[in-house]
Amino acid sequence: MIAKTVRTSFPVAAGAVAERAEEINKLNVFPVPDGDTGTNMSLTLSSVVKELAQLDADADMEAVAGAITHGSLMGARGNSGVITSQILRGAAEGLTEVEGPVSSADIARALRRSVKVTFHAVRKPVEGTILTVLRDVSTKADECDRRRLTVAETLDAIVVEAYESVARTPDLLPVLKENGVVDSGAFGFAVFLEHFCAAALGRTAAPAEFKTTFDTTTEGAREVALGRVEIEANDDWEGSEFRYCNEFLFRADAPFDEEAVISFLGSMGDCELLVGAYPDYKIHVHSNTPHLVLEHMLELGQVYEVFIHNMDMESHERTAKIHADQDEASEVPMKPLGFVAVAAGSGEAEILTSLGVDVVVSGGQTMNPSTADLLEAVSQVHAEAVIILPNNSNIRMAAEAAAEACHDKQVAVVPAKTVPQAFSALFAALPDTPFDEVVEAMTEALAHVRDGEVTRAVRDSTASDGTPIHDGDVMGILTGSIDVVGSDVAEVTLACIARLQDEEEGDTLTILAGEDLDDEAFQHILDAIQEAYPDLEIDAHRGEQPLYPVIFSIE
């Protein structure tokens, strides 16, 4: 069970780090501001994902741990990547001892093992880095175990602790405070941990509403961490004592004195790391004489996959990119009004973008974006005022919280409950109209939209008229009420449309096909609707939304 959970959760977490790699890169100022931490962590994690994909479907945790250890060792890039590989190795080794369902004690033990392995590899740990966050998370897991919290409570609590620890990094490492950032590797680790834990619990993100017994929300902790970030170009950096980042894989010809090699690497520079086990190792060091490092190791074995980075050049590239981003933002005049909308499917997102939405946030019924996610989206809109379309009742509160928390631009929420409602609202947004009037017109447009959703039940329930609903039944939901129950998507869709048309005949039907409804089945539904209502104008699209084969609206 634990092996399957790790295998399915790891790619999700790795993907989250990859999506935010550039953001993590911009935070990177320690040990040198070379702007590659996010890239290096992402490359390291992607190597593990590839290794895991090659395992047999029934591979046990020992095999999974082996793949994580080997994949992260072979793919580790940079100081951050090598340290990440040791964090993963230790945690994976700790999980091999799990027998039966995982417990909070198992989680605590795995993290203790991770701390032991990682701190053994890093001989000169620095406070205010990823190492500090790892240790804090492990301490929190021990506390959760002592308090006998559930696995879900423990995972949520360690994610909160990770972000709170990230927020403390500038107070522990002066160079971070001087540059207005949190530690990049620490932030990357927190992102990975958040999405790994969420996936392990069957969620797409840590719940915004969750509050641990320690009285802190995941969302709140994340916002505090992000609130300490004011990325600036580091024009005053005079360069590290060592210019080159040297990293390579090493295969020993025979057992050797590892302590002697570590000492040698330390004499060549700093940030020295030797990780792995005979005969395969990963070596990392910042040095001015990479050729001497290679020559020494060639006397002991074979060197391959050598990467030598000029950190001085990379730091200047980072600074130039930040300046370029700042110049671009200042040169482009702000438009009066912009839009942020939430969408669950790629087709929905494409339509919203075509209607003028600036940023589409991924989310929906089972993957609600947080206030922080929506705030980040608002910040990306280069406009004086922004309207948020949550497109789901469960997201409205987070959207309103984001609007209240934004102080550098005017933000309002038009409370669309579905994507088709958002379409109508966007059509009502007239240019060169005062902000308040636009919000009012868009909100009024929602009242003229009658919508429906067709999905399958996942548990027994009861329809609005008392009809029993069984797991697997097809349900037709009209304005939030389960009014139609059946066994066929097409039949339920037609029944829902019939009810709405009987109440008040509409002129236009907008209908979106979900990812589980193929083109042939969708066309069958469209043909049936056209035959039943020949005067109804049908605007059909592929929405690709999950869980809902059909969503529609009538106006």
Is residue 208 a contact partner of residue 368, using CB atoms and an 8 Å limit? Answer: yes
Question: At residue 474, does pLDDT exceed 50?
Answer: yes
Q: Within 10 A of 126 (CB to CB), how many other CB atoms are there?
A: 15
Is residue 549 a contact partner of residue 506, using CB atoms and an 8 Å limit? Answer: no
Nearest to 194 by CA among 216, 170, 161, 224: 161
Q: Within 10 A of 239 (CB to CB), how many other CB atoms are there?
A: 12
pLDDT by residue (tens digit) across 335-354?
999 999 999 888 899 999 99
The SS3 assignment for 229 reads: coil
Query: How high is the pLDDT of residue 310?
Result: 80
Give the position of tokens 């089945």: 521
Mean pLDDT of the chain: 85
Q: Mind listing the domains of the chain with CATH numbers?
A: 2-227 (1.25.40.340), 244-314 (3.30.70), 333-446 (3.40.50.510), 450-554 (3.30.1180)
Query: How high is the pLDDT of residue 204?
Result: 53
User: Cα separation of 249 and 117, whole Å?
Assistant: 19
User: Cα separation of 102 and 2, whole Å?
Assistant: 7
pLDDT by residue (tens digit) across 87-134?
999 999 999 988 888 999 999 999 999 999 998 888 777 888 889 999
User: Cα separation of 113 and 127, whole Å?
Assistant: 19
DSSP per-residue string spanning 404-472: HH--SSEEEE---SSHHHHHHHHHT--TT--HHHHHHHHHHHHTT-EEEEEEE-SS-EE-TTS-EE-TT
The percentage of the chain sitting over the pLDDT mark of 90, rounded to a whole number, equals 46
Cis peptide before 279 (omega within 30 of 0): yes
The percentage of the chain sitting over the pLDDT mark of 70, rounded to a whole number, equals 86
Instruction: Say if strands 537-542 and 508-513 run parallel, antiparallel, or are unpaired.
Output: parallel
Partners of 511 in beta bridges:
540, 552
Query: How high is the pLDDT of residue 224?
Result: 59
Is residue 475 a contact partner of residue 469, using CB atoms and an 8 Å limit? Answer: yes
DSSP per-residue string spanning 18-64: HHTHHHHHHH--SS---S-HHHHHHHHHHHHHHHHHTS-TT--HHHH
